[in-house]
Amino acid sequence: MSNGDKGKEPVKSDDTVKLKGKVVIANDRGQRTEIDNPEVRRKEVRGV
Amino acid sequence: MIRTFAVTPGGIGRRDYSTAIEYASQPALRGWQGRNNWAADYSGVPTLPFGWAYEMRLGFYTAGGLLVYEAPSDIVNHIYYAGVTSSRKALVNVGLWVFANLADWWAWIVEKSLGWVNGYGAAELEFTKGVNTEAGKVYSIMFGEYSPEPLFDMRITVNALEEEVIL
Handedness of CA B22, B77, B165, B136 (dihedral sign): positive
Q: What percent of chain A has pLDDT over 70?
A: 67
Domain ranges in chain B are 30-164
- Kindly report the number of other CB atoms within 10 A of residue B2's CB atom: 6
B43 reaches A (C-beta below 8 A): yes
* Mean pLDDT, residues B156-162: 94
Type of residue numbered B150: P
Torsion sign (Cα): A28, A33, A34, A39:
negative
Q: Do B42 and A1 touch (CB under 8 A)?
A: no
pLDDT attached to residue A3: 45
- At the fourth CATH level, the homologous superfamily of domain B30-164 is GOLD domain (2.60.120.680)
Q: What is the per-residue pLDDT across B97-130, written as a single tens digit (0 to 9) for each?
A: 999 999 999 988 999 999 999 999 999 999 888 8
pLDDT tens, position by position, B12-66? 666 655 555 555 566 777 778 889 999 999 999 988 888 889 999 999 999 999 9
Within a domain: residue A31?
Answer: yes
Can you give the pTM of this predicted structure? 0.81
AA identity, residue B128: T
Is A47 among the domain residues?
Answer: no
* A2 found inside a domain: no
The answer, for B64 touching chain A at a CB cutoff of 8 Å, is: no
Calculate mean pLDDT across residues A20-32.
93
Q: How confident is the model at residue A1 (pLDDT cuts 50, 70, 90)?
A: very low
Could you tell me the residue range of the domain that residue A23 belongs to? 14-41
Residues of A in contact with B114 (CB under 8 A): none
Answer yes or no: do B61 and A27 touch at CB < 8 A: yes
